[in-house]
Amino acid sequence: MFSPNADMDFLKENETLEDLQAGGLRLIQKKDGFRFGVDAVLLADFAKDARAAEALDMCTGSGIIPILLSHKSHISRICGIEIQQEIAETACRSVIMNGLEDRIFIENGDLKNAAAVYGKRSFDLITCNPPYMPADCGIKNELDTKIIARHEIMCSLEDVLSAAAQLLKQQGHLMLVHKPSRLVDILAGMRKYDIEPKRIRFIHKKIGSEPSLLLADGAYKGGVELKILPPLYLYNEDGSETEELRRIYGR
Q: Which residues pair with 201 in a beta bridge?
A: 215
Q: Which CATH number fits domain 36-249: 3.40.50.10860, 1.20.144.10, 3.30.70.100, 3.40.50.150?
A: 3.40.50.150
pLDDT digits (tens, 9 = 90+) for 44-72: 999 999 999 999 999 999 999 999 999 99
Other beta carbons less than 10 A from residue 192's beta carbon:
12
Distance from C-alpha of 160 to C-alpha of 25, rounded to nearest angstrom: 28
What pLDDT score does 114 carry?
96
Delimit the domains of the chain by residue range: 36-249
pLDDT above 50: residue 151 = no
pLDDT digits (tens, 9 = 90+) for 86-115: 999 999 999 999 999 999 999 999 999 999
41: nearest Cα among 71, 77, 81, 78: 71
pLDDT above 90: residue 205 = yes
Quickly state the pLDDT bin for 131 (edges 50, 70, 90). confident
Q: Is the dihedral of CA 176, 182, 186, 192 positive or negative?
A: negative
Are the C-beta atoms of 124 and 173 separated by less than 8 Å? yes
Distance from C-alpha of 186 to C-alpha of 208, rounded to nearest angstrom: 24
